[in-house]
Structure 1
């Protein structure tokens, strides 16, 4: 009956993936399952489509959750924004061309879908997690679990500061459902396979524990009337979990997950009334600079704070100085230095990308 692929990769890697697969199996592609609609998972089908056409084979079937077409529509609507934020997130030197056409699914499902190909059964399960259209796939005859990005060998991508809503509570529940199946092989969306039921249970269980801890503590403080500021500086990950090799914050950051939980349940108002209808950043910065003796003094103090390790406070003053004196070379030299130190100190790709972008902004003005 042919092959079943779970995820298909980036557009830039589609040809290579197709060629590599053909070195060990020449069967036609029967079905591709999109675990979710992120662009690193959905662009590998066209070479198989072309192959099917040239060989007179049936065209590959693509299956995805029913929310995926709406995602593709949103990608078209916000293509310019996505181009900019992905350049910033990953530190690319040039804007990232964002796709506006996609290999659409042929079959959409809602909750669970059973697929039988060549005597093998594949069970597709929907769960909100990194996205609202996520699918994890269970192959019961082989006790193989394809988790998609529900497990990525890092802190879950559940708080990305430049992207849409993530769903930590749903994510944790899905991980518990996966554990209950007692898989013996875990094929994650990124990173090496995990083999052995005990290892898989620990990896997925620890990930669920991390998400549940951040979720429950954040909601507890929200229900007690605490502000976002208080929650961000109070809620953090259990140290024993965040030190696991498969949960380190190398891509996303637990602090960003806390923000995401606030956004999911509490909207955008953070509890500070001055933020409800704020002044322009530049106007506030100019006023603070005037009170402080000028933007250069703010920039100098930012340098001092950064040198003493107080990077969060230094970043506030450096940003104010740059906003108050947007054409001052000295101020922007200081701003670049502060954010460069911050980028070096941060482990996550997302924080490094945003701080690195600020460095480039100021370097361009010096």
Structure 2
């Protein structure tokens, strides 16, 4: 069993390089005891469990595939029933395993922010869409344990609706242990972070994930980076001695926690300030995307690497939040059909294959431009095998050059689409 607090301290304090530390968000369903009444089960999203005099309080339940394994790990630690299940938010990697917890302890009460129920309804309305984007985002990484959703229902049918909800704050007392729930918008509009005064601990959900914050996911609903940064500063103000995120390692020490959370807040605030400044100057979205930057030194911090989300996607989400969907290019307001535009450009180039070959000329110097050109070529002649061979090559190369899982997933999916057209 790994000493999670020692490992996180070694990484944050610079005694251990990331390449020697190994994965920081492990999906092994192993329980690590933090102290006699607190444990963490490492899973797709962790399950954080407190012992009280009136049963267990669990923060999150992992995903559908991991819920029972989390319960089994807890049962090797404690035979007490689950009194309460707190959903830090409604993403299925946090709530999808709840059915196993309820089956184990049928009287367990689910507590969550009031917007969680609305999220569940949206998932049911968009089940097919969520299945598609889940496969695109995670399908290529299933061998690493990123098997997030079920085969038919994105939100598992066994997921219980919250029994108790709140709007701004909620104080729970379970067996003499106090839990102070706080709502804040960040990765979602239904997020909860919790102060546990007896442990001087914060259960943070996804406000911190040991990677660049997931504040821009291009395939998901709106994120709120400004409010996210404020939530992190509110957590710092509590002077916690123990910080328990739902992904990655727990962190001990008030000074260490303050340093880590403040660095994330500053990065988000910088992105918001830079983006709004350019929006207020009348810049187009494309200009903003290519102008706003985060210092390399920030991204080099071991808890800020853009391996899941990345700053460019956050910029687009900030624009969407404050400016709507119009990007400032009047041709995009009521656009032509993409296939018709592509056919015209291909005709001017001398044919779709010539356009695709021209894309290859730019692969080493401007792969973004190369993707635009080869996408037009494929749209212009969608059944041309030679074009799809070039498209697959370009997007595969683009995938290999990206750092974030989101970008890799989308570009890899595009490459696979074209590879399927070669057979």
TM-score interval, smaller chain: over 0.9
Pick the aligned partner of 2:66 from 4, 8, 13.
13
Conserved in 2, the CA contact under 8 Å of 1:10 and 1:44? yes
- Quote how far apart the aligned CAs of 1:100 are: 5.8
Conserved in 1, the CA contact under 8 Å of 2:67 and 2:101? no
- Quote how far apart the aligned CAs of 1:44 are: 2.8
Matching residue of 2:206: 149
Matching residue of 1:38: 91
- Quote how far apart the aligned CAs of 1:297 are: 1.0
Pick the aligned partner of 2:113 from 50, 65, 68.
65
- Quote how far apart the aligned CAs of 1:91 are: 2.7
Deviation above 3 Å: which 4+ runs of structure 1?
Answer: 92-97
Conserved in 2, the CA contact under 8 Å of 1:75 and 1:100? no
- Quote how far apart the aligned CAs of 1:195 are: 1.1
Counterpart secondary structure, 2:215: coil
Return 5+ residue gaps in structure 1 as ranges.
54-58
Conserved in 2, the CA contact under 8 Å of 1:86 and 1:96? no
Conserved in 2, the CA contact under 8 Å of 1:5 and 1:31? yes
Residue 175 in 1 paired to residue 232 in 2? Answer: yes
Matching residue of 1:253: 310
Matching residue of 1:76: 124
| C-alpha separation in 1, matches of 2:376 and 2:103 | 54
| C-alpha separation in 1, matches of 2:94 and 2:406 | 19
| C-alpha separation in 1, matches of 2:274 and 2:268 | 10
Pick the aligned partner of 2:187 from 130, 133, 140.
130
Aligned CA-pair RMSD: 1.3
Conserved in 2, the CA contact under 8 Å of 1:91 and 1:356? no
Residue 243 in 1 paired to residue 300 in 2? Answer: yes
Matching residue of 2:420: 364
Matching residue of 1:88: 136
Matching residue of 1:266: 323
Query: TM-score, with normalisation over the residues of structure 2?
Result: 0.83
Conserved in 2, the CA contact under 8 Å of 1:110 and 1:126? yes
| C-alpha separation in 1, matches of 2:105 and 2:361 | 64
Residue 333 in 1 paired to residue 389 in 2? Answer: yes
Counterpart secondary structure, 2:345: helix
| C-alpha separation in 2, matches of 1:208 and 1:230 | 24
Please give the per-residue CA displacement for 1:288-344, whole angstroms capped at 9, x wherever unaligned: 0110111111111111111x2311000000101111111111111000111011000
Conserved in 2, the CA contact under 8 Å of 1:155 and 1:249? yes
Counterpart secondary structure, 1:186: strand
Conserved in 1, the CA contact under 8 Å of 2:64 and 2:156? no
Residue 111 in 1 paired to residue 168 in 2? Answer: yes
- Quote how far apart the aligned CAs of 1:236 are: 1.5
| C-alpha separation in 2, matches of 1:360 and 1:52 | 44
- Quote how far apart the aligned CAs of 1:196 are: 1.1
| C-alpha separation in 2, matches of 1:262 and 1:141 | 41
- Quote how far apart the aligned CAs of 1:257 are: 0.2
Return 5+ residue gaps in structure 2 as ranges.
1-53
| C-alpha separation in 2, matches of 1:214 and 1:206 | 13
Q: How many residues align?
A: 360
- Quote how far apart the aligned CAs of 1:128 are: 0.3
Conserved in 1, the CA contact under 8 Å of 2:271 and 2:315? yes
| C-alpha separation in 1, matches of 2:65 and 2:274 | 41
Conserved in 2, the CA contact under 8 Å of 1:250 and 1:347? yes
Please give the per-residue CA displacement for 1:14-62, whole angstroms capped at 9, x wherever unaligned: 1111010000111111111000000000133323322335xxxxx0111
Aligned ranges for residues 295-314 of structure 1 at < 5 Å? 295-306=352-363, 308-314=364-370
Please give the per-residue CA displacement for 1:56-88, whole angstroms capped at 9, x wherever unaligned: xxx011100011111111000000000000100
Counterpart secondary structure, 1:41: helix
Matching residue of 1:56: none
- Quote how far apart the aligned CAs of 1:220 are: 0.8
| C-alpha separation in 1, matches of 2:382 and 2:228 | 43
Matching residue of 1:191: 248
Matching residue of 2:15: none
